[in-house]
Amino acid sequence: MKPVIALVGRPNVGKSTLFNRLTKSRDAIVADFAGLTRDRHYGDGRLGDREYIVVDTGGFEPDSSTGIVKEMAKQTRQAVAEADTVIFVLDVRNGLSGQDQDIARYLRQCNKRVLIAVNKAEGMQDSPLLAEFHELGMGEPHPISAAHGQGIRSLLEAALEGF
């Protein structure tokens, strides 16, 4: 079985940009995985000879009857449940928000390996702005730039460790 990596985080932090960075082909693989449902966005990726699946969340149409927040929470829960590793994506330019703290609280009680990816950190590898994300107590934050392809390999190595 290929490991499944879920990308989780509030809107606009760069999950889909990271998804595109981590995947080569999209959605085609869903049929091969009985446990995966079609209402999330799946992609196939490879690091050397190691293959993995990435799940993006938030790529859904907001449903006015359920409300976007509820639907997002459902997407996140389902993606986390089927993941081997969760990448919690945050935005260094915004700092930690209340919504980030809510997601963190949820992830802490999920018993999954969670990696902290602090996105939009192009050229900020040693920035003091990263310190705030340590306070989540979820391990060393990985500064990345999904848009510019920085820090991606080391994040992915960590995500695939042990698989």
Question: Residue 65 corresponds to which amino acid?
Answer: S
- Residue 59, annotated ligand binder? yes
**Interface stretch with ligand GDP, choices 15-23, 37-45, 105-113, 123-131 (CB under 6 A):** 15-23
Q: Name the minimum Å distance from CB 56 to Mg ion.
A: 6
Q: Which does 8 bind (CB under 5 to 8 A by kind): Mg ion, ligand GDP, none?
A: none
Q: To which residue do tokens 């089927």 refer?
A: 82
Among positions 30-59, residues that touch ligand GDP (CB under 6 A) are 58
User: At which residue do the structure tokens 């391990």 appear?
Assistant: 139
Task: Give 48's Cβ-side CA count (13 Å radius).
Answer: 5
User: Is 85 annotated as contributing to ligand binding?
Assistant: no
Comparing CB distances to Mg ion, the nearer of 41 and 142 is: 41
Q: CA 53 to CA 60: how far, in whole Å?
A: 19
Residue 64 Cβ, how far from ligand GDP at the closest point, in Å?
19
Bridge partners (DSSP) of residue 53 are 4, 44
